[in-house]
Structures are given as C-alpha cells and as structure tokens.
Amino acid sequence: MKNPLTSKNTFDTNRIDADGFREVVLIGNESPIGCPFKCKACGVFADAELVTSNMNKKIITKEISILNNKIQSNLAEYKKTNFHLLVYNFGNITNIDELSIENLGFLLHEIGRLPCLPKYISINSRGRFLTKDLLIYIKSLHLKYDVNFIIGIESLSEKGAMIYGKKNIKKEFQVMYDLVSSFNLANETNFGFDTSFVFLPEFYDKNRTDKLGIKNGFENDLMSFIKLYVGKNVPIKISIHPYFKTQNYPYDSTYNFFEIIIDVICNIKKILINLNKGVHNSLQNTIFIGIKDKGYETEGWIKELDKWGHIIEEVNKGDH
C-alpha cells in the first residue's frame, strides 16, 4: 500500500498554503492538568507533555533552534515563499497556567530572532483566556510579525455544536472576535484568527443519504461564518478538516464525500478572492484543506487523495 504522504498528488514534508510554508512548533504545557477543556473530539490533550516553567523554557529554546537550523538551510526559499508558524502546547498558549507570561514573552522574543521572520504566528486560545490585557501585553513587545489566535469552531450548526460538545461556541467566538476587532481598530494592530471546521455529513443528515442537503448545509455553515466575520478588520484563516474515523465517535470517515468538500471549498475560495481585493496583505483571508493530520491509512483515503490532491494543493496555495 502506498503511503499517502508520499503519493504523487499529495504534499511533501513542507506544507504550503497561501501564506507560505506552514511550520509547527510543539512546546510543553505547564499546568498539572494540561488543557482544562478536555474536548472529547480533540484527544491531543492526552499527548501533552506536562512540564515545569523551567523545563518549558528549555523546550522552547530547543524547538526554535531546530526551526532556525531548518530555515538557515534553505534561507533563500523561505524568504521567497514566506512562512507562518503554528505554536501548540496541547492546550491554550494564552492561559498563563499552561504557559507562563514569562515564557510567552520568551517564546515571542526567540521567534523574533529567526533569520527570516514569519508572516504571522498562530497560538491556541479559548474565549476565557483571550483578554484585553493579553493583547496589550503582546502589542507592548513591538513584534515585527503578527499574531493569530487558533480556535476550533468545528461547526456553527446546532447538530455540529452538540456532537462536538461546543454548544456555546458561537457566543464564545463572537466575544473573542468583538474584542480583537475593537482592539485592532483602536490600536492599528492586525490580530487575527485561525478557525477550524470539520466536515461531517451527520451535521446535516444523520443517514448520509441526502447529498444535496449535506452539500447545502456545509456551504451554508461556512457562508454564515464568512458573512459575519470575514472581509473586515480582522484577518481570518479558515481550515477545513474532512472527518476521519476515530475511536471517540461512531461515525465513518468522509473520504467518499471529497467531491462535495472540494466543490464547496472551491466556491468559497472564489468568494474569499473577491473579499481580498484591495485588502492589505496583513489582512488577507485564506482557506486551507487539512488532509495531513491523521487517519489516511485506508485505501479509500489514499485513492481519493490521489484523485483530488492536485486541486487541494491549488486551493491551499491560493492558486485555485
């Protein structure tokens, strides 16, 4: 069986999207319990490395050093292509119990010493941890790159929110967005969001038989979000993750729904292109199809990625 990550139409080691190379740094979580939310659809909290503040500072130093060496080895390409950085601690970077404010400052400072600066970095957050004081603190550092906050919305549909245990996610994100939007307007900053959605047919049809209804439901879900939040003074990055079968949920993977996923996202991409016209580069909105996370070991997934991989790559790079 072919490895989908080396398949002819899928991606190489460097994932590239409309903002350049997508680099990832994993650091430790400084809370004794890790992420307090324990979202059952997430699962990554179980992989968290729980560390002390001192240990985490060493991890940050090591991880940024590895990234530095990677950039140095191909500096011309990173400068030409651009890159952005996603930082994870299997929880909430913005929670001072999970990452001390000292280590947050250290992390941001070390990133600023890279030989090629990221276009922006993205750090995990939830509503209760994203505060005006945090925004003021980050602004005070006078960073030469922008900062986005990662939030897993999963779905705005009532069924989606129920399945993923995020019944208050609409209200939570609205509060986060209002805070960042008003702060950007008052301070001429470019704080933004990395928002993730899951494609699961059961959000729209429990039997998976009404494919038109599923397609319309998925598209309406994304369009309602775009109408509310995209194209304003807050840059929004949208990631779509086709559902793959997990132990936590009794749903089948969605490899056989790729035609719907691609069709909807190509339509959304055209809308984003129009919204980006005349918008400063730092406020550009993008969409990304995440197909390199987990769950692609089945023959069905591999076959569909071979079929649709080139279109996914074009969409992710902003070329489609």
Q: Is the dihedral of CA 289, 221, 286, 101 positive or negative?
A: negative
pLDDT for the residue numbered 64: 98
The owner of tokens 């080895």 is 73
What CA–CA distances, in Å, run from 152 to 39, 108, 156, 166, 196? 10, 22, 11, 9, 5
- Tokens describing residue 150: 């990662």
The whole-number average pLDDT for the span 56-68 is 98
* Closest residue by Cα to residue 292 from 244, 236, 260, 237: 244
Task: List 120's β-bridge partners, or say none.
Answer: 146
**Residues 192-230: pLDDT tens digits?**
999 999 999 999 999 999 999 999 999 999 999 999 999
Which range is most confident: 260-269, 277-286, 288-297?
A: 260-269
How does DSSP assign 189-208, residue by residue? ---EEEEEEEE-GGGT-TTS
pLDDT for the residue numbered 3: 36
pLDDT for the residue numbered 98: 97
Spatial separation of the C-alpha atoms in residues 94 and 9, rounded to whole Å: 37
The owner of tokens 């979580």 is 29
Query: What's the predicted TM-score (pTM) here?
Result: 0.92
